[in-house]
A and B are shown apart, each in its own frame.
Chain A
């Protein structure tokens, strides 16, 4: 009898403490937390100052580093290799195949997800485990800027985000000004896949970059990553081939040789089969502007010669 009373007493005490703790906790939590709508239209409640962030895609890691908050990232996905410091963050699987267990074990107070790519069920599960998930959708320059703004607010880095955005916009304007002088807009075949031949459609950021850099994307259309046969590409008669280095080693040389066999192609006549570093072309981050500058110089070298000479002096 006595022991059971004791147990009840013990429990009561525990209950009171727990209730009080919960009350205090919710109180402080509500006063500091932010209630936001993310890019999926979900309403997310996030504690005032997230300190343990898990970034569910390499682009997110990069954007958070750009905001100067990289030290808050406690978990990142495979291939989060930029900046150099990001390589040391514990891995939580790849962005399509996340290791939920590892994420939970990191005890994050915020997960930043991407709208396309992260499986829906992972997001739901994390939410069921009371981990706030904020989804963003960086897929072109505009949405990268939007993401920078939102994460700036979220991570208390609005100043930095404004500076980054301003820098991006200034550089875009500069390129636009230079490219506007071009008297010819060449037809470009941007090849991201070797076998099968894959290019980029209208709703990709590479398309946007090509247009901004003063080129026409031959593969524009509804399909994001259209496949082509060799015949179709030849029928386009591209003036410039741009091939990403996704396939490393000697593969680029091989592909170049392959296209060079068609000596009637304008691109071959003018020797304009070009290689770009895929690293800056595969993620929607502030580095898109680097990619834009690279592209513009590749497509319109004549417009940049004066500038290069100037900088060499």
Chain B
């Protein structure tokens, strides 16, 4: 064990650094492109000389695009790592906060918050968190019981909870009759257009400690994958670890949902792709998911901004269009 650890460490550092580079590249592209042209040149000038001439373009890049790219990266990191944790703890490759209804639960909370006129932070955040905790408990209670069925019953109860959440969301929307309706609809589809630096800062403050905590648990997740009995003999307090990780993930996801709306399938696409590429060691997967997920999301957001000729698409549409087919492929694979 002692001899092996440095190798893992080296590999982790190498992989993390390459993903960091990838993320930096994606962020630079994200900053360069948008409805205004000339971004590449300005960014190049900035990289080379540290400043750019065009003040308007500068403002566009640093005050409009930069916060957005930052928030997109945070969203991607959180949702990917959330997916990874759910898949590890629930031992189900199809588990993901969005599919299991955790996102839906926090969306219900957030919409109630919007309707009663709370501020985005901390009011809506708290209600969204409570909403998602309730759905988490619901899913756990519903899927507990016969252990042989647990894989399917978890997914099924998640789907049911998600359907119920959608119904409640529709109900809340049908109650709304004024101009807030449009905002809620767009927000529901996952919207990053209202991001600002303040929001990015709040998210960073909330999420970074969670990332570190999750990384500290990464080896424990490896042990959990070996099976409960083995994990217990290795000294893992399964209940405590499971609850901590689930609650932390739920907290992170609800923070993202209350700020940016429902963005689905990210937690499915990135962890699976990375597991295919890098194997199943969570000490490597956790940092890779954080950085790779950010990269994926920055690119999805870029697509959402530049694909439509007029205005922009909600980014959730893009992630769902990429993610849903992958979900179906995975489902097919695991069944046969």
Contact = CB atoms under 8 A, between A and B. Distances in A.
Interface of A: 78, 91, 93-94, 96-97, 99-102, 104-105, 107, 116-117, 119, 121, 125, 128-129, 223-227
B177 A101 contact: no
Contacts of A107: 56
Contact of A101 (B34, B179, B196): B34
Given A107-B56, A225-B178, 12 more contacts: A78-B311, A96-B183, A96-B186, A99-B311, A99-B312, A101-B34, A101-B65, A102-B36, A104-B59, A119-B194, A129-B59, A129-B64
A119 B187 CA distance: 12
Interface of B: 34-36, 56-57, 59-60, 63-65, 177-179, 182-183, 186, 193-194, 196, 310-312
Contacts, number: 58
B311 A125 contact: no
B309 to A, nearest CB: 10
A224 B178 contact: yes
B183 A224 contact: no
B60 A104 contact: yes
Grouping DSSP codes into helix (H, G, I), strand (E, B) and loop, the A interface class, with mixed when no group exceeds half, is loop
Given A99-B35, A100-B64, A125 B186 contact: no
19 contacts: A78-B310, A93-B310, A94-B311, A96-B179, A96-B182, A97-B186, A97-B193, A101-B35, A102-B35, A105-B56, A119-B194, A121-B194, A121-B196, A128-B63, A129-B63, A223-B177, A224-B177, A225-B177, A227-B177
A117 B179 contact: yes
B311 A101 contact: no
B29 to A, nearest CB: 16
A97 B182 CA distance: 9
Contact of B196 (A94, A97, A125): A125
Contacts of B183: 96, 119
Contacts of A91: 310
A94 B179 CA distance: 14
A125 B193 contact: no
Contacts of A116: 179
Nearest to B311: A93
B196 A104 contact: no
Contacts of B311: 78, 93-94, 97, 99
Nearest to B61: A101
B193 A104 contact: no
Nearest to B120: A121
A105 B60 contact: yes
Contacts of A224: 177-178
Contacts of A100: 64, 193
Contacts of B186: 96-97
